[in-house]
A and B are shown apart, each in its own frame.
Chain A
Amino acid sequence: MSTAPPIIELRHVSVAYGTVKVLDDVNLTVPEGAFLAIIGPNGAGKTTLVRTILGLVKPIEGEVLVFGKPPKELGPLRREIGYVPQMHTVDLKFPVRVRDVVMMGRYARLGLFRRPGKADHEAVERAMAKVDIQDLADRPLSDLSGGQRQRVFLARALATEPRLLILDEPTAGVDAQTSTSLYELLRSFQQEGMTVLMVSHDVGVVSQYVDGVACVNRRLVAHGRPEVVLTDDTLAEMYGCQAMFFHHGHVPHMVVRAGEEKK
């Protein structure tokens, strides 16, 4: 295929919290311009995988390369990453206006001590326009719905003008229609040349939008195009534990149930 260096490369990566291995010998390559979904059951290590790529977690074995460099040595390249964290990680009653949250995406670019200038305000306006939240600009975050808030965090990631966009469970706690429009938005970013990496447990819907799926359950169970990867065998391997837990016989049926539970 193409000879361009991959945006993300994980080679034999293992991560442990204490003595518990949460990721075991994961190999993953994400080429530039991909739209990849990381799927797997709860506690499968999806978030850990993202945190490892971001350099927030140090692997005990293996090598992580983002833009061809270990996360710790990214330096200014860090600003090429737009990150949308899980929403429950922030205090949603924090007194802050939408515009100010989006501006945070410009802070690292600005550097310490410096105040936002005209270019930063313009970038914030553009980012808000892209996700269609300009009319919410002066509203406090606490006034917004889950879907609106998600767009604010997406706009903040876009304000950094990233090459790589990483989202951790962006559709947790929002309704199906909101999720769908978010996926469409992400696909439009991909079509503009952005690489998008998204953690999800929304197996069914996600596969219609992404061009790659990585199935994680401690190990990387499968990785490739959705129609190739999402077979009964893969799903059984990935959700196997839950299937046993629920004492259901028919595996594909089981996976559909697990998917519905999250909504």
Chain B
Amino acid sequence: MMDFWQYAFMQRALIGGVIVGLLTAIIGVYVVLKGMSFIGAGVAHASFGGVALGFLLGIDPLWAAVAFCLAVAWGIGTVTRRGGIKEDTAVGIFFASTMAFGVLLIGLIQGYNIDLFSYLFGSILAITAEDLKMVLGVGFLVLLTVALLYKEFLFITFDPETARVSGLPEPALYYLLLALIALTVVVSIKVVGIVLVSALLVTPAASAYQLSRSFGKMMALSAFFGVLSVVVGLILSYYLNTASGATVVLTATAIFGLTLLWRRWREAV
């Protein structure tokens, strides 16, 4: 029954997957409530440019993606806040241009066989001990920040203007939140890939939103759904021999469908 656990790669995949599931689900609560899903998708696609830059410069693609995504997330934030452009327009511009930048760079790297597919769609079963360390380190940092600034992030998500009036450093907290989104996206690339990571950032939190009447409960439920999606998705992909990232995302979507049905059923009675 538990035979998948005997393989070291499967153990690493599960540990890394659980952390990523937890991380995306927690940050996802802010993304969903603040209406930033498109920013999540934009930053995820921007990481492609970062990965390509890493290959070209000969540095770790994931660390290059961290730097690149931070710059893009803050760029979207700055253009939106100061440039008087709507957020979704700003994302729209960065979304495609950073992908184009990545494609351009990949073209410049001649005679170098890069496994792009694993970055685009994830390769959780190929996660190395080194990757796992990065996931653990970044995950700890992000979760610690959320724990320390729990009340501040709640306030700026619910009512940013009043938060600012009350004296909280609202712009700084917003840029910090963008940074947490960027970090979360990059460490999740190994698990579900660039194309699918935004699903983990949105779907578990959206499921939790259906069932929650308080913020704390939404956090807890989202975390639960996030981890559940990864664990169930991985086990399913192992037995069904399907692509792991895609199976995880579709599991999360199935959970969302069930919460939607459950809420409608509850509202009907």
Contact = CB atoms under 8 A, between A and B. Distances in A.
A108 B151 contact: no
A115 B148 CA distance: 9
Contacts of A69: none
Nearest to A142: B213
B166 A78 contact: yes
A97 B168 contact: no
B64 to A, nearest CB: 31
A128 to B, nearest CB: 16
B contact face: mostly helix, strand, loop, or mixed? helix
Nearest to B212: A95
B213 A83 contact: no
Contact of B215 (A83, A95, A115): A95
Contact of A95 (B161, B165, B167, B217): B217
Contact of B159 (A85, A115, A140): A85
B165 A56 contact: yes
Interface stretch (A23-31, A98-106, A238-246): A98-106
A108 B214 contact: no
B149 interface: yes
Nearest to A114: B151
B5 interface: no
Interface residues of A, number: 34
B165 A54 contact: yes
A83 B166 contact: yes
Size category of the B interface is 20 to 34
Contact of B167 (A78, A85, A96, A97): A78
A104 B158 CA distance: 10
Contact of A108 (B157, B161, B167, B217): B167
A104 B154 contact: yes
B148 to A, nearest CB: 5
A246 to B, nearest CB: 33
Nearest to A75: B167
Interface of A: 54-56, 74, 76, 78-79, 81, 83, 85, 89-91, 94-97, 100-101, 103-105, 107-108, 110, 112-113, 115-116, 140, 142-143, 156, 160
